[in-house]
Structure 1
Amino acid sequence: MAIKADANPSTASEATEAADAVSRGLRINFGAGALGMAVVLNTPAGILAPFMTNFLGIGATTVATLLLASKLYDVVTDPLMGIISDRTQSRWGRRRPFLFLGGIIAAAGFALAFNPPEFASQTPLIAFMLAALLLTYTGYTVFNIPYLAMPAEMTGSYHVRTSLMAHRIAFVNVGGLISVFSFALVEYLGNDRGAHGTMAWIYAALIVLPSIYCFFGTAPARQTVSVKKTYPIGTQIRTAFDNRPLLLLLGAKLGQLLGLATAGVTGVYFKVVILGMSYTLTTVYLVTITVVIILVLPLWSRASRKYGKRSIYMICTAGYALVTASWLLATAQDPLSYVFVRAVFLGIFGSGVLVMGPSLLPDAVEYDYLKTGMRREATISAFYTTVEKFSFAIGPALALYILGWFGYQAGTEGMQAEQPASAITAIYIGAGLVPAALYGLSLIFLFKYDLSEEKLKAARAAAGAARENA
């Protein structure tokens, strides 16, 4: 179903409940698309850096540069993909064709990244890894930009959007669960270079299948069509920066995602090197977090209806920061139960952070349309994903640069090499101090965020009145 872009949004009140309703089946079909992209994002974030430093013999600072370059590439491609999607006209709409295409491209790049050929020297190996990463993240961009634009089009309901994003986050965490099993799977397959390659082929199938399913499953979704008038890129960027709720949301997400990305890389080193945990036990820890996240998602969705998205978002962000900071007190002599108590609380607070942040994006996207009259859902969503990509470029790179500067010893025989005291200090900083501080910083932006349900209703009414008087 498509609606005209230049139709009035809702004049004096919200669109009817029937028009804004999204069936449970359609919510599931939409959410399922996030599974494959979660595998793309989360698996390399955890296991790729140790694979390159400890199985391919690439130095930590070089790995950091590779990850940084591949993600900064997305800073350019994300806005471009948003504009392409917004201007696309096809029998499948402006968004859905890219769900199919993006999944295939991302799966191919992912498989190549863990299956590099044998090279005589490091230079061609590094070049190959960069090309594989660029292909992987091109596919992620092609899928994810149009995908994140869809909820703002599918419904105008403030709370149905939260439910849509909750379904998405549930599948994100199923994908995250699959990702954390990569450690145990690699260990089971022999914990060598070939084991990583076999894992990657299995996971490539898990990337492409949900993407194709989402393409077919979202066929009944409500869509918008592009307006005839187009705007220069400079105008679109300038007017987007006038969207205060969007900028505050992006500021909050920047701090949170930088913290998450830094902890995601350093956390593996922390569990294995500092706490002496095996890959299998690390997998159990990560599974515990993910299961808790999924279980408490409905609780946070209901709480947001009563207390508001922003309030719940701030509570969960503060809680997550405090639990993350507690890793500074952890030692190898602590009971294992301490690790898993942290896992439970990280899951509880992380669940709220994961669902509340994305649920605010469709509201900011609609607010942009109400203020500017531009149908550019994918372009605005691209700003959000650019922050995500930038964070997952800078965060891991920062963590790995710190490890390199503090003398972390790379190798080709796994993670058994003894590390100097300076590298141990760097791991503590990257796993506890830096991410906790970044989460705390994001609270400043959330404190200023004020796009409530009531303000959004008022903006709809004002936009409708302006069109009636035009």
Structure 2
Amino acid sequence: MSPGRRVRIGYGAGSVATGAFGTVPGLMLLPYLTDTLAVPALAAGAIVFLPKAWDVVLNPVAGRISDRSVDPRGPRRPWLLRAGVALAACFALLFAAPDLGSRTADAAWVLVAFLACATAYAFFQVPYVAMPAEITGSYEERTRLMTWRVAILAFTILLAGASAPAIRDAIGGRDGYRVMGVAMALLILAGALLAYRGTRSAPVGAVTPGAGSLRDQLRVVAGARDFRVLLTTFVLQALATGCMLAGVDYLAGDVLERDGAATVLFLCFVGPALLLTPAWAAIGQRIGKKQGYLLSSLVLAAGAAAVLPAAGAPAFLVFLAVGLVGVGYAGIQVFPLAMLPDVAAVDARRTGSSRIGVYTGVWTAGETLGLALGPGLFAVVLALGDYRSSDSGDVLQPDSAVTAITLGFSVLPALLVLLSLRWLRGYALDETEVDRVDA
């Protein structure tokens, strides 16, 4: 049964919340810590990473809880409202710390607030990602559902990624970060409310939670080979894009040294996704999801590698290279998110019990880990390059730091993406098998 365009758009609207939260901390939090609170790079990387590491533990638990939720609105939808409101409130606090007079106290505020954000996000993201496998049983319809989701996600990343630095820079200093945090919190709240309302007519179907303890179900999920190789591929690529996201502000300010370059880089990164997400979906229908995923991964790796000469190249060439990254990025969002419900649905049809929440809990835990390790890994690269933290962001960086920023934005992500393809080769699920099981 097709859920209809209204449900597709309504479901996709949830990406306003996930896109804003996934983008802004990855883009702004590390520079906020190193260049406004003067936290050393390694300590700042740990602050960005630790709350996300908590999500790795929490997400499978959130999935199991949503699997076992009983509500007339369905097992997933109520969590969009509850956790979405909590996430928006916690995010507003993340950048809203008063001047506590101590670098340690300021850093502790950020750590606690980010931990609260990560907890709320787990209970929003996991049920949200689980919904497509229950909304439709069609292999092709899941791709259409993901096309709307990724298109809205790309728009949100563009909006949040371009406007957050602009708001900060227009006001300046810590007040700029505070106002930016409130603005992004309102965006997150709008996405959660729209997704909750927009999916009210979505088919849910019968949800029969899998038997056994969480540990038993995790063991079964870990034994699903197609899921395992798909997750490994996706996590390595999330690590790569997390590195690039964390590096935008540094590449713009310390390598290109151009006012407004961060906004332009974001336009180049995300702009192509707004136009090419439907094109990637069409390519997937013609050559298959796996081959489409492979092709888009190679495009992203090529674009990342092309950023390597950034320090000595004209800025427009760097922007073109990042635009190529954006072309690939659109594809690596569409395909794995369309393949995940296939894997979970096949398991549910074969076993007669649903582990969809656990599957998506493990998936989002892996995604969270990759996106959290990305800034952390980039922070390690900064430290190795002798990056100098400050409370003003005006420190002249040594050549070693400029080189580290360039390598962390280009060669490192490209190698991670290429490495991920070693696991993608092992994915064997195709349309024939999905349709046979669904039948």
State which of 120, 133, 150 in structure 2 corresponds to 1:139: 120
TM-score (normalizing by structure 1): 0.90
CA deviations on 1:129-182 (whole Å, 9 max, x unpaired) are 111001111121111100111000111111110010111111111210122121
Structure 2 counterparts to residues 45-444 of structure 1, below 5 A: 45-180=26-161, 181-189=163-171, 191-227=172-208, 230-278=211-259, 280-331=260-311, 333-414=312-393, 416-444=394-422
2:210–2:217: 8 Å Cα contact kept in structure 1? no
Q: Which runs of 5+ in 1 are unaligned?
A: 1-19, 462-470
Deviation, 1:373, is 2.4
CA deviations on 1:19-55 (whole Å, 9 max, x unpaired) are x212111100110011122101101100111111111
Name the structure 1 match of 2:433. 455
Distance 1:300 1:204 in 2: 31
Amino acid across the alignment from 2:431: E
2:301–2:325: 8 Å Cα contact kept in structure 1? no
Name the structure 2 match of 1:38. 19
Deviation, 1:199, is 1.1
Q: Which runs of 5+ in 2 are unaligned?
A: none
* 420-429 or 78-87, which deviates more: 420-429
CA deviations on 1:57-110 (whole Å, 9 max, x unpaired) are 111111111111111110111011001100000121100010001111111121
Deviation, 1:392, is 1.6
Deviation, 1:228, is 7.0
1:26–1:217: 8 Å Cα contact kept in structure 2? yes
The SS at the match of 1:64 is helix
Across the aligned residues of Structure 1 and Structure 2, the Cα RMSD in angstroms comes to 1.5
**Percent identity of the aligned residues?**
30
Distance 1:299 1:83 in 2: 35
Amino acid across the alignment from 1:374: S
Amino acid across the alignment from 2:266: L
Count residues in correspondence.
Answer: 438
Distance 1:249 1:275 in 2: 36
Amino acid across the alignment from 1:118: D
Deviation, 1:323, is 1.1
Distance 1:406 1:281 in 2: 22
2:209–2:355: 8 Å Cα contact kept in structure 1? no
Deviation, 1:437, is 0.4
The SS at the match of 1:223 is coil
Deviation, 1:229, is 6.6
Bigger radius of gyration? 1
Amino acid across the alignment from 1:213: L
Distance 1:229 1:323 in 2: 43
* 393-402 or 71-80, which deviates more: 393-402
Amino acid across the alignment from 2:389: A
Deviation, 1:127, is 1.8
The SS at the match of 2:307 is helix
TM-score (normalizing by structure 2): 0.96
Distance 1:379 1:103 in 2: 20
The SS at the match of 1:57 is coil
Distance 1:167 1:133 in 2: 29
The SS at the match of 2:306 is helix
* 450-459 or 221-230, which deviates more: 221-230
Distance 2:326 2:167 in 1: 23
Deviation, 1:353, is 1.3
